[in-house]
Amino acid sequence: MDIPLRTHATTQERPASVRYSRTWATGISAISEARDAVAALLARARPLPGRRPVQDAQLVASELVTNAAKHAPGPCALRLELLPDASALRITVTDTSPQAPERRPPDPRRIGGHGLHLVAMLSRGLEVTWLSRGKRVSATVPLGTAVA
């Protein structure tokens, strides 16, 4: 189900937050769509984040969605929420696997298995919330210095 990018006003005292959500039945197309969604949402941010923070957020989103696509049967969902001051982007992926994401020991000779290390480096940690069927994995990516 597609939910278009939009602004939700919560109260008059707080600025509106910018959110996006999408659910996929399964498939690799979700990964590129997640990266595109991050870029589109951050293009609406004020102040506008620089190129590097946008790329960092895209990488975190694609790594989390890739893990869901590779390790969880069934649907996965992506939720993006730009903090009201545009200082960070909260990226949440929900999937049907009961297994926790697992960081493998670093091995420069191994192909793959480095995604959670990248997520940890680029975000303010990884949070896992267990659901009745699966889990929700969240990371908050700082957007750093804005560009004028």
Tens digits of per-residue pLDDT, 80-139? 999 988 999 999 999 999 998 988 887 888 787 778 999 999 999 899 999 999 999 999
Ordered by start, the domain boundaries in the chain are 2-147
Residues contacting 20, CB < 8 A, separation 6+: 3, 5, 37, 40, 41, 78, 79, 80
Q: What is the mean pLDDT of residues 17-31?
A: 82
pTM attached to this predicted model: 0.83
Lowest mean pLDDT among 25-34, 53-62, 116-125: 25-34
If you average pLDDT over each of 44-48, 53-57, 98-102, which comes out highest? 53-57
Please name the fold of domain 2-147.
Heat Shock Protein 90 (3.30.565)
Q: Which helix (H) or strand (E) holds 116?
A: helix 115-122
Q: Grade residue 14 by pLDDT with cuts at 50, 70 and 90.
A: very low
Q: In this predicted model, which residue has the larger pLDDT, 97 or 2?
A: 97
Per-residue confidence (pLDDT) for residue 103, from 0 to 100: 84
- Residue burial 57-93, b: 16+ Cβ < 10 Å; e: rest: bbbbbbbbbbbbbeebeebbbbbbbbbeebebbbbbb
